[in-house]
Amino acid sequence: MDLSIFLAQLLGAYFVIAGGVVLFRRKSLIPVVAEFGHDRALILVIALMQLLGGLAIAISHSIWTPDWQGLITLIGWWMIVESVLYLTMPYTGIRRWIRMFNTNQWYVAGGFLSIAIGLYLAGIGFGYL
């Protein structure tokens, strides 16, 4: 199986599921995410795992085209940038960032965006588009 197809299937399914969870469980996620900003060890572990995943995508799939393959590469680089921010920002900045984005409106917008990206990638990866 081609790596691009595999990543489209993997990321597509992940984004659809994660987006659905965010949309339907957002009221219960808001307090959980608020607590995330106060747990330095959890921030470190998640940032390191996200960095590893982002590096794996960026190194193995460096395809900069204006289509779905470029989107996969962009997702990998976004993961790298976000994880480096979590690793280098002061904890007060992380908590401020979480307070700013940890709102019902951002969860709705992010959930729909995640599902749209996921359906696009999954559609290509599983041969529907």
95, containing H or E segment: helix 91-101
Q: What is the pLDDT of residue 129?
A: 82
22, containing H or E segment: helix 3-24
pLDDT digits (tens, 9 = 90+) for 71-126: 999 999 999 999 999 999 999 999 999 999 999 999 999 999 999 999 999 999 99
Band of pLDDT at residue 37, cut at 50, 70 and 90:
confident
Q: Is 118 exposed, middle or buried (0-12, 13-18, 19+ CB in 10 A)?
A: buried
pTM of the model: 0.93
Rounded to the nearest integer, the mean pLDDT of the chain is 96
Q: By residue range, what is the domain housing residue 7? A: 3-125
Q: Which residue is associated with the tokens 């959980």?
A: 32
State the average pLDDT over residues 5-30. Answer: 97
Structural domain total, the chain:
1
